């Protein structure tokens, strides 16, 4: 069990590193484009690259952020319950979230397949859209693993 948790954690952290590198690229690209626009030599395709990068950053950072519980919790009401009810609530919400992310991931794969078949590309750089859809879809499936690990941690009493 601990080995599975460590593998999911390592995979989430690896995806987060990719997200961090992409965010750094996005920042440097934006700053460079602003400076070069001032000199009347903008970088062609900046808008497209920032859009692609934004999708990668959000999708790839999601599993690790969820693992660390770095997102916003509104649990003032839930904290008032005894631990058993709180755990049942956490398990129920994790199962609902797993269902949601399975649907999102599946639909992103279907969308990526449609983008691939149609040959959809960006206007300026002519970059295909489908790799981003597939990548974020994979991250949604990994998010399901992270949520499943949360359930395992709740059963082991190591969640809070």
SS3 for the chain is CHHHHHHHHHHHHHHHHHHHHHHHHHHHHHHHHHHHHHCCCCCCCHHHHHHHHHHHHHHHHHHHHHHCCCCCCCCCCHHHCCHHHHHHHHHHHHHHHHHHHHHHHHHHHHHHHHHHHHCCECCCCCCECHHHHHHHHHHHHHHHHHHHHHHHHHHHCCCC
pTM above 0.85, yes or no: yes
Q: Which residues of the chain have pLDDT under 70?
A: 160
At 94 the pLDDT is 96
At 126 the pLDDT is 96
At 73 the pLDDT is 77
């Amino acid at each position: 069990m601990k080995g599975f948790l460590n593998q999911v954690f390592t995979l989430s952290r690896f995806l987060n590193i990719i997200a961090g590198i992409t965010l750094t690229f996005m920042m440097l690209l934006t700053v460079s484009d602003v400076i070069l626009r001032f000199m009347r030599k903008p970088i062609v395709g900046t808008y497209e690259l920032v859009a692609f990068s934004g999708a990668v950053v959000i999708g790839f950072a999601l599993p690790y952020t969820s693992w660390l519980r770095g997102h916003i919790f509104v649990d003032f009401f839930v904290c008032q319950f005894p631990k058993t009810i709180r755990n049942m609530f956490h398990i129920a919400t994790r199962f609902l979230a797993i269902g949601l992310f399975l649907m999102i991931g599946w639909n992103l794969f279907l969308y990526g397949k449609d983008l691939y078949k149609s040959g959809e590309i960006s206007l300026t750089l002519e970059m295909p859209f489908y790799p981003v859809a597939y990548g974020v879809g994979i991250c949604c499936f990994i998010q399901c693993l992270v949520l499943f690990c949360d359930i395992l941690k709740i059963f082991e009493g190591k969640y809070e």
